[in-house]
Amino acid sequence: MTIYVIRHGETALNAKAIMQGWLDEPLNQSGRDLAEITGQAMKGIHFDRCISSPLIRAKETAEIVLRESGNDIPIDVDDSIREINFGDLEGRKLSEMGETGLLFYTDPFHFSGFPNGETIQEVCERTQRFLKKLIEQDDGQTYLIGAHGCALRAMLNFLYQDPSDFWRGHAPYNCSVSIVEVKDGNPRLVAEDKVYYDQSLIVDRYKGELNR
């Protein structure tokens, strides 16, 4: 069983460093371009199933990747893998929270969460519940999972060598892919934040927030 987890392509709010969370923002042209390149590079991979966050940026990314990779399969949606809820900060910049907001990146497990939103622990619980249920099936199939930056980190946290290091030095890049192989019910992370496009196109907004 193989599980490919992809972060969505860039959106206009991404480009402005605005926290979108549950806002339903579509991909911009750059996001669509990166999804196309990624899908073309994944030709030859046969996906049996695709499950996506219901948010349009994740679904649109999955649609493009499936089309460009030659996989004509439907996309199922699952609410449990949508992005973290930024609550009152949705549509605003993290910098508006000052030093408190900076903890989201520097010490996320001790960050108290967003007003009327979620904590990192809550996102870990719902996304890992989804992934562990999938792993338990161990059905030998190949899955494409359309997700988000924080949700992806939360989902895979228990598979990282050091789970206390939540962000792994950076947020997942747009259209980066992490790959989980499952054998006899045992999952193993075999690729982390793999990009299929030229690395000069990578935008590291995590470091941008730390250096603001």
Q: Which residues are catalytic?
A: 8, 83
Integer Cα distance of 171 and 168 in angstroms:
7
State both tokens at 187. Answer: 């999952």
